[in-house]
Structure 1
């Protein structure tokens, strides 16, 4: 898969993933009485989950980039 195809999937897929996530939130709130009785807990869970996922993806890609940079120019690393 080339870079343009990956970018197109990202641009098209990200909004659909957002819609799917909103649908999951609505379904949980409509189907679960406990979720309706504890809105602060549910809001915390549903707001922290995307942050944790995006943070872990960002850290993973940053570590890959750092490892790639060290392999290209090992003498420039600070010890």
Structure 2
């Protein structure tokens, strides 16, 4: 896969995955009673999950760059 194709996949893929994640969150918040009874915990998990994935990706890429 060349770099232009990877970049196009990145530019189109990340927003689509974000939209799917938000749709999943809205669906869970409207349909599940456990999520509705504990909105702070559910919202915290909903926010921290992508933040944790992004932080892990950033730190591992930085560690790989410093290793070289």
TM-score by length of 1: 0.80
1:38 aligns with 38
1:55 aligns with 55
1:12 aligns with 12
Structure 1, unpaired ranges of 5+: 69-79
Structure 2, unpaired ranges of 5+: none
Map Cα deviations across residues 7-43 of structure 1 (whole Å, 9 max, x no partner). Answer: 1100000110110100110121123101011111111
Following the alignment from structure 2 to structure 1, what is the Cα–Cα distance between the partners of residues 61 and 24? 27
Following the alignment from structure 1 to structure 2, what is the Cα–Cα distance between the partners of residues 22 and 59? 25
- Flag as ranges the 4+ runs of structure 1 deviating above 3 A: none
Q: Which has the larger radius of gyration?
A: 1
Count of residues in correspondence between the two structures = 68
Tell me how far 1:57 sits from its aligned partner.
Answer: 0.4
Q: Which has the higher contact order (CA 8 A, sep 6+)?
A: 2
